[in-house]
């Protein structure tokens, strides 16, 4: 990774940290939300060696539009059109009911760009790991299992994207409660 690419990733990390600064995960420890995008970065860069700055930045920024007041235009202004496009591909429309968002995610993922599929795989890996190790407080066994199964349906739509990420997903899925 070049120095310029590294700088862009650090800028994305800072941006995401500012945007998510007051947010917490739903687990019993109320983990700072920024730990989730950082976990995606770790999976992509450290565990499987992804060096594409658009993928790494989009991983850090993947929930900013969905979960904060951030706009696509703001991401494009700070990080360029390519990164903004990848972020948009992995962003759900929060104006839709949850069941519809989940259904659309399964439908849309197969047609997503390679970069967006990498982010989506990392996101599902990290979410399963979090649910296994420190589940959301109010999620009973049925809900946790349902999430695992839905995540598998999303990933099945993009099998063949990245073998190592898919193997990490399968390992995480094997911890299904």
Active site residues: 66-67
Helix segments in the chain, DSSP class H:
3-19, 35-41, 53-61, 64-67, 72-79, 81-89, 98-109, 114-133, 141-156, 163-173
CA proximity to 41, closest of 80, 75, 69, 15: 15
Phi then psi dihedrals of residue 33, to 5 deg: -60, -35
Distance of alpha carbon 40 from alpha carbon 103, whole angstroms:
23
Distance of alpha carbon 170 from alpha carbon 159, whole angstroms:
11
Query: 113: phi > 0 → left, psi -120 to 50 → alpha, else beta; which?
Result: beta
Residue with tokens 């790991």: 129
């Amino acid at each position: 990774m070049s120095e310029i690419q590294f700088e862009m990733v650090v800028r994305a990390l800072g941006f995401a940290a500012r945007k998510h600064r007051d947010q917490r995960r739903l687990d019993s420890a109320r983990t700072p939300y920024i730990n989730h995008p950082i976990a995606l970065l770790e999976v992509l860069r450290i565990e499987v060696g992804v060096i594409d700055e658009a993928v790494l930045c989009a991983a850090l920024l993947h929930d900013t539009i969905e979960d904060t007041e951030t706009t696509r235009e703001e991401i494009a202004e700070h990080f360029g059109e390519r990164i903004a496009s990848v972020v948009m591909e992995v962003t759900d429309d929060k104006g839709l009911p949850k069941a519809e968002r989940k259904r659309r995610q399964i439908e849309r993922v197969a047609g997503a760009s390679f970069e967006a599929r990498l982010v989506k795989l990392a996101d599902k890996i990290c979410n399963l790991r979090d649910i296994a190790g420190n589940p959301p407080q109010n999620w009973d066994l049925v809900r946790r299992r349902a999430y695992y199964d839905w995540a598998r349906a999303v990933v099945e739509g993009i099998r063949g994207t990245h073998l190592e990420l898919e193997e990490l997903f399968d390992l995480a899925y094997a911890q299904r409660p």
